[in-house]
């Protein structure tokens, strides 16, 4: 494992020292719990980027879930790129964001779908009339699960001469 480093140009302005500090982990958790929308970033097979705002829920293991049409561009991008994606959750008022890289997969198990639909009810603060069957077989929609491989939080802005440089803090996922 590499030695933790402060954010510098040599490491793409990523701080690897502070990713398990309690206040950093608390802020990341706060963003996830308070913000109900995130942006899913995918790319087409030819490299065209695609950003999609979406309502999401999450479980205790910090997997993220959303539903989308199979034919949607971001869904098609997931199918053609082995599920590779990023999710950004941010609070524009605080100018803070948490970024996650990971893999999205389609949920196909009815019992798991029913459990996730209950999370949607709680997060939306209203009952959802959907059933697990609404995301299976001939349905045009699917439920997706995003498993995190890496995460970052907006870091401090560093002054370099006359410029301000944005940094990120690499999160210790085990602490999250």
Q: Domains of the chain, with CATH numbers?
A: 9-170 (2.30.110.10)
- Predicted local confidence at residue 128, as pLDDT: 79
Has residue 54 got a pLDDT over 80?
A: yes
- Predicted local confidence at residue 126, as pLDDT: 84
Has residue 52 got a pLDDT over 90?
A: yes
Token representation of residue 85 = 């994606």
* pLDDT-based confidence at residue 1 (cuts at 50, 70, 90): low
- Residue 71 C-alpha from the chain's centroid: 21
pLDDT in tens, 92-134: 888 899 999 999 999 999 999 999 999 999 999 888 789 999 9
Give the per-residue SS3 of 93-134: CCCEEEEEEEEEEECCCHHHHHHHHHHHHHHHCCCCCCCHHH
Own/partner pairs, 34-38, CB within 8 angstroms, 24+ separation: 34/91, 35/89, 35/90, 35/91, 36/123, 36/124, 37/89, 38/64, 38/87, 38/88, 38/89
């Amino acid at each position: 494992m590499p030695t933790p480093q402060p954010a510098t140009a040599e490491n793409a302005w990523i701080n690897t020292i502070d990713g398990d500090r309690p206040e950093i982990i608390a802020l990341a958790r706060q963003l996830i719990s308070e913000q109900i929308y995130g942006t899913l970033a995918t790319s087409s097979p030819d490299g065209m980027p695609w950003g999609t705002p979406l309502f999401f829920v999450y479980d205790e293991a910090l997997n993220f879930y959303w539903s989308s049409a199979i034919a949607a561009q971001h869904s098609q991008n997931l199918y053609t790129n082995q599920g590779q994606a990023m999710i950004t959750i941010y609070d524009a008022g605080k100018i803070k964001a948490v970024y996650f890289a990971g893999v999205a997969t389609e949920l196909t198990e009815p019992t798991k779908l029913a459990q996730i639909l209950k999370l949607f009810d709680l997060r939306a603060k209203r009952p959802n009339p959907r059933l697990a069957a609404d995301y299976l077989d001939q349905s045009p929609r699917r439920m997706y699960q995003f498993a995190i491989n890496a995460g970052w939080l907006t870091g401090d802005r560093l002054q370099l001469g006359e410029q301000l440089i944005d940094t990120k803090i690499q999160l210790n996922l085990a602490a999250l």
